[in-house]
Amino acid sequence: MTLEDDLRATLARAATHAPVAPPGLLDGVARRRRRRARSRLLASAAAVVLAATGTVLAVRHERPEPVVVTPSLPAITQEQVAGSPPVEEVWPGAVQIAPASLKNGKRLRPLLIADDHTTLLTTWSSHERAGAVYAYDQRTRELRQVTLVPSRKGEIADGFVVAGDRLVWHVKTDTSATLWRAPLAGGTAERLPGTLPHVPWATDLVRDRLVYSAGDIGVFSVPVTGGPPAPVPGGEGLHLLEWPWAGDPFRPSDGEKDVRFRRLVNLETGEVRHAALTPGDRYVVCGVSTCSGLHADGRPYARARDGSGERQVPDLPQGLAADRFMAPTVTGRDEVEQYVVDVVTGRSGSLELNVPLDGGERSFTTMGVTVDDRDMLSAHRTGDDTLVFIDLKRITSGS
């Protein structure tokens, strides 16, 4: 290897360690632009007129029938969303707030919602390496250590799920993974028998088995107590969205016209669902029952997979969490705020991130919501150093 070859390899690998774009990055761009173009933006916003009639659109492939797309629901606008009350007031019972750091200053990261009053958090030593798992009880306000997460350099602990009174997760290398578990009440982590010859993704607990995606190889399952994995019949080449639904794996190279999870397969019944398409749409991401995207005329929308119940939404979502939630950021005069919007009910709540526009050197995170968020959303309230957890399943099952 010459120095030049080494340099090539070094730069390529270093690039993979770059930060990922936080949504705030693009807000900043808009804000810089807005200073110069405020009047023009206002003019163009006022000029948006919505057609309220149904439109018959010819849809190619799969479906012989044209799909009638009816904009049957009123648009959700930024103006409606801005100034919404805090999420804990809008969805009481579905929101939990936990500390974002330990007394010694170590930062905590949201892991999962264990039950209606307990959230799990983790410290991490570097990048994806979890250090220890903590449980925070809303009622007692007690933070206790659940277990230490053993991992070596280069290994990543991921796929944490609650299985009965235990926490189960996997530790993965570049090519394989091992299963681990620890009692939720607190105790030592133990390694479960067997090695998975995969790098699991989108782990879900289904009865007494863990199901997971293995790259674009397919969907596999393994006993939650460890053992050999088995392919899930019909899941070859698919990526798990939410059990039992799996679709074609995401390929970034497919471009803006590609529809993510356009085809979904039910791995229990074999049922296949295709999403309705509108010609000219871009950035379409579908979930189990809804899709979101951008019409050719620039209107971002959310609607059912069959094209019905469409409504305009305040921003282009990268898919809807749990099929109905998005989290647009709204720039006000002095601060940026991020809101959680339920596109089904039109309700919205503020995450109370209170990000000042002239924030100086202080850093903040906004939340990036994708179609892969199925159970919960979480965000860091930098100001009061807390983590807010939103239990999406509690909201969707309660309405």
Interface with another protein by CB under 8 A: which residues?
A: 3-4, 6-22, 24-33, 36, 40-41, 44-45, 78, 124, 126-128, 153-154, 156, 158, 172, 174, 199, 256, 282-283, 294, 298, 300, 314-316, 318, 358-366, 368
Cβ 141 to another protein shortest distance, Å = 26
Cβ 196 to another protein shortest distance, Å = 14
**In whole angstroms, what is the distance from residue 33 CA to residue 230 CA?**
53
Count CB-CB contacts under 10 A for residue 338.
24
- Residue 391 tokens read as 């239990």
In terms of CB distance, is 126 or 269 closer to another protein?
126
**In whole angstroms, what is the distance from residue 355 CA to residue 205 CA?**
36
Cβ 208 to another protein shortest distance, Å = 26
In terms of CB distance, is 225 or 365 closer to another protein?
365
Determine the 3-state secondary structure of 78 from DSSP: helix
Cβ 165 to another protein shortest distance, Å = 28
Cβ 253 to another protein shortest distance, Å = 12
In terms of CB distance, is 13 or 141 closer to another protein?
13
In terms of CB distance, is 73 or 294 closer to another protein?
294
Count CB-CB contacts under 10 A for residue 279.
10
**In whole angstroms, what is the distance from residue 172 CA to residue 390 CA?**
27
In terms of CB distance, is 153 or 333 closer to another protein?
153
DSSP-derived secondary structure for 5-69 = HHHHHHHHHHHTTSPPPPHHHHHHHHHHHHHHHHHHHHHHHHT-----S-EEE---SS-SSPEEE
φ, ψ at 36 (rounded to 5°) = -90, -25
Cβ 33 to another protein shortest distance, Å = 5
In terms of CB distance, is 64 or 360 closer to another protein?
360
**In whole angstroms, what is the distance from residue 105 CA to residue 125 CA?**
13
